[in-house]
Every structure is written in structure tokens, then in C-alpha cells.
């Protein structure tokens, strides 16, 4: 089953092939986010410009950088330097303009032709404690061509979920997919362990918790334990690209943030999972029902609620995979312990 799972994903990566956007390690922050925005990608591999020509792939790349990660890093720097306003002349306009596709009037006039920050931004980012603590909690997996020693494609969480949804009618998946969540021991994380914020708390507290707890999203709750909205780490970009949110970024509440983001997206006719509202399931739903919801809404986590709508837990893609792929401890070497297996000729 595991071999089928991996091979299917690899085949799909090449079937849906599109050129991988790479970012040079000496690129400015503005250049990086502009490149990701123009190519409509949320993450990209960072190439070490000082790596020798014959470098192995693991020596050639510093790692994967995600747009949301850049935004959170900026917010982290803003906290240390006195707020987002302190970044007005450097990082914030570049990110905001690039993230909005250079369509925001607020930033058109303030964005230089080639926005610059420190030339060693990616070296600083990848050596920071924040990056080290999250580096191996990968949101996407690169597909490497061992001959060319280059990343050929990237398997995203959305691609994995879509693959699982397409497996619904396959014999090996039918019996598993028809089982109820409670029969599979899901959710793994119960309500008292779920990181959440109250609807009246500042939205900055939500992003601060995501950074501190190293989670990709959390529910906004009302009345103590009723989930009413979901905020993802990638939603942090709206603190920078939506003027109505930016002006109140210090005080805007979690629920008002969600409402403002929806209004901004509808006004600018942009798509985002946040528009779908709160997506939930019940313990007696089947696994394939949950996977279908995740796929159709293009989300990576779903909250389990009881008959009254109270939070009972959360199910992530990682939880689902843990019920599909069962391998002995150490089967994959030390890869899932956070250290990539090194090629024989590695200089690392």
C-alpha cells in the first residue's frame, strides 16, 4: 500500500508537470515575493548561489521557502522592531505589492522598481531559530531528479488530498474509506489539546500562537468552544495586502479579521479557502466523506464537532496519512526525524 501511495504521487507530479520556480539565495525579499506572486506559487526552493557546479541536490538547495513563512517572519521582525510601521520603508511595501499582484493602489507609488532588503535575506532566514524550528515540518515535498540533481516538481498537501479523493473507488482504499472516523481512532487531537483563539481576541494573537506552537492554522471559537471560523498561517498575508485590515492590524479581532478578509476577497474577486467559512465534520462521518470535503474546499484540516456544534477535535492531512501508511519505526531511516538522508557525495 505504501509503495502504491508514493508511486502514484510521483506519477501525478510528472503528469501535472509545470516548471519549478527557483529563488536565488542572493535575491532580495521584494524580488522573491514578486516572483512567487507572478507565478502564483505559495512556495519555492531556494538555490545556494555559492554552491559548486557539481553539487548534489541537497547541497544545491538551502531549503523550501513559503510565502506565508516570509510574512510570519516579517511579523516576527516587526514585533522586535516596534511594529509593522517600522518596516514601512523596506520589507512591508515589497511584500504587500507582490502579494497583491501589484494591484493595490496603496503600494504602487511606494514600491521601488526593484525593491531591496538585505542581500543575504535567505541566509538570515534559513539560519534563524524560527526557520530551524519549522524547517522540517514541510507543507510540500520536492521531487528530485537524481541525474540532474535538481528539483523537478513539488508535491503539495492539496495534491495528496486530491490523490486520496481519486482513490475512493480503488479496491485497496474502499474498505478504509468507508470506515467512520471514530472507528479509525480519529480525531487524534482532542478538543482540550486544540490550539484556538476566541472570536474577540486580537488576530495577532492567533498568528503568534501559530508561530509559538508551530501549527498551520487554528479555529476561532465563540462561547468558549464552538468553532465559527478557521484562520490559516497563509491568511497572515492579508495583514499586509488589505489596507482596511492593515490600518487596524494591532486591534482587529480574529472574527473581524475573517469578515474583513472575506469582504476584501469578494471585492477583488479573488479565491481563498477562507471564503468557504467553517468546514466541520462529525465523528460518525466516513473517512472518504472527510477527504472529499477537504478536496472540494481546498483545505488541509477539518474540525470535528458534536450535535451542538461544540469542538471535539481536529483532523489534519497528517492524521489521515497515519491511518493509511503503516511502517515500522526506522523504515524510512531518519527522514521523518527531521534529517534528510545525505547523498554519498554530499559536502554538507
pLDDT digits (tens, 9 = 90+) for 14-73: 444 467 889 898 887 777 877 877 787 778 888 999 999 889 888 898 888 777 777 766
Average pLDDT over residues 280-306: 95
Q: What is the pLDDT of residue 308?
A: 94
Q: What is the pLDDT of residue 112?
A: 34
Last residue of a domain, one of 102, 130, 156: 156
Q: What are the backbone angles phi and psi of residue 52, rounded to the nearest 5°?
A: -65, 160
- % pLDDT > 70, the chain: 68
Mean pLDDT of the chain: 75
Q: Are residues 25 and 152 in the same domain?
A: yes
Grid look-up 471514530 returns 182
Domain count, the chain: 2
Q: Are residues 111 and 151 in the same domain?
A: yes
Average pLDDT over residues 5-9: 50
Q: What is the pLDDT of residue 337?
A: 47
Whether residue 215 is predicted with pLDDT greater than 50 in this model: the reply is yes
Last residue of a domain, one of 87, 122, 156: 156
Q: What is the pLDDT of residue 294?
A: 95
Q: What is the pLDDT of residue 28?
A: 77
Q: What is the pLDDT of residue 116?
A: 34
Average pLDDT over residues 220-247: 85
Distance, CA of 261 to chain centre: 18
Contact 257, 249 (CB under 8 A): no
Q: Are residues 250 and 290 in the same domain?
A: yes
Q: Are residues 201 and 122 in the same domain?
A: no
CA–CA dist 131, 113 (Å, integer): 29
The CATH code of the domain that includes 316 is 3.10.580.10
Q: Are residues 151 and 185 in the same domain?
A: no
Average pLDDT over residues 281-288: 97
Query: At 62, is the secondary structure helix, strand, or coil?
Result: strand
Q: Are residues 148 and 173 in the same domain?
A: no
Average pLDDT over residues 313-341: 69
pLDDT bin (cut points 50, 70, 90) of residue 330 is low
Beta strands 217-222 and 197-198: pairing type? parallel
Q: What is the pLDDT of residue 92?
A: 44
Contact 159, 12 (CB under 8 A): yes
Last residue of a domain, one of 133, 156, 179: 156
| Cβ count near 213 (within 10 Å) | 9
Beta strands 43-47 and 226-232: pairing type? unpaired
pLDDT bin (cut points 50, 70, 90) of residue 186 is very high
Q: What is the pLDDT of residue 289?
A: 96
Q: What is the pLDDT of residue 227?
A: 96
Q: What is the pLDDT of residue 310?
A: 96
Higher pLDDT, 14 or 149: 149
Average pLDDT over residues 185-197: 94
Classify residue 335: in a domain, yes or no.
no
Amino acid at each position: 500500500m505504501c509503495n502504491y501511495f508514493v508511486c502514484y504521487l510521483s506519477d501525478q507530479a510528472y503528469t501535472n508537470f509545470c516548471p519549478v520556480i527557483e529563488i536565488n539565495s542572493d535575491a532580495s525579499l521584494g524580488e522573491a515575493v514578486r516572483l512567487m506572486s507572478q507565478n502564483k506559487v505559495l512556495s519555492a526552493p531556494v538555490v545556494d548561489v555559492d554552491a559548486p557546479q557539481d553539487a548534489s541536490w541537497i547541497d544545491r538547495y538551502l531549503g523550501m521557502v513559503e510565502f506565508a513563512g516570509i510574512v510570519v517572519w516579517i511579523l516576527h521582525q516587526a514585533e522586535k522592531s516596534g511594529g509593522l510601521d517600522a518596516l514601512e520603508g523596506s520589507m512591508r511595501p515589497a511584500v504587500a505589492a507582490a502579494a497583491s499582484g501589484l494591484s493595490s493602489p496603496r503600494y504602487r507609488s511606494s514600491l521601488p522598481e526593484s525593491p531591496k532588503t538585505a542581500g543575504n535575506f535567505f541566509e538570515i532566514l534559513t539560519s534563524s531559530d524560527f526557520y530551524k524550528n519549522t524547517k522540517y515540518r514541510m507543507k510540500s515535498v520536492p521531487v528530485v531528479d537524481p541525474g540532474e540533481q535538481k528539483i523537478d516538481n513539488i508535491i503539495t498537501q492539496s495534491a495528496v488530498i486530491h490523490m486520496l479523493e481519486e482513490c475512493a473507488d480503488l479496491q485497496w482504499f474502499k474498505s478504509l474509506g468507508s470506515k467512520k472516523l471514530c472507528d479509525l481512532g480519529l480525531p487524534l487531537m482532542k478538543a482540550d489539546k486544540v490550539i484556538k483563539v476566541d472570536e474577540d481576541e486580537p488576530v495577532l494573537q492567533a498568528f503568534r500562537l501559530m508561530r509559538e506552537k508551530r501549527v498551520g492554522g487554528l479555529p476561532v471559537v465563540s462561547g468558549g468552544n464552538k468553532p465559527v471560523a478557521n484562520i490559516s498561517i497563509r491568511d497572515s498575508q492579508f495583514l499586509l495586502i488589505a489596507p482596511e485590515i492593515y490600518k487596524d492590524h494591532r486591534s482587529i479581532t480574529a472574527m473581524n479579521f475573517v469578515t474583513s478578509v472575506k469582504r476584501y476577497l469578494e471585492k477583488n474577486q479573488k479565491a481563498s479557502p477562507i471564503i468557504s467559512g467553517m468546514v466541520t465534520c462529525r465523528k460518525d462521518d466516513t473517512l472518504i466523506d472527510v477527504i472529499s470535503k477537504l478536496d472540494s474546499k481546498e483545505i488541509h484540516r477539518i474540525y470535528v464537532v458534536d450535535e451542538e456544534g461544540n469542538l471535539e477535535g481536529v483532523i489534519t492531512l497528517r492524521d489521515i496519512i497515519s491511518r493509511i501508511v503503516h511502517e515500522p519505526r526506522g523504515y524510512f531511516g531518519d527522514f521523518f526525524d527531521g534529517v534528510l538522508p545525505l547523498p554519498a557525495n554530499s559536502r554538507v
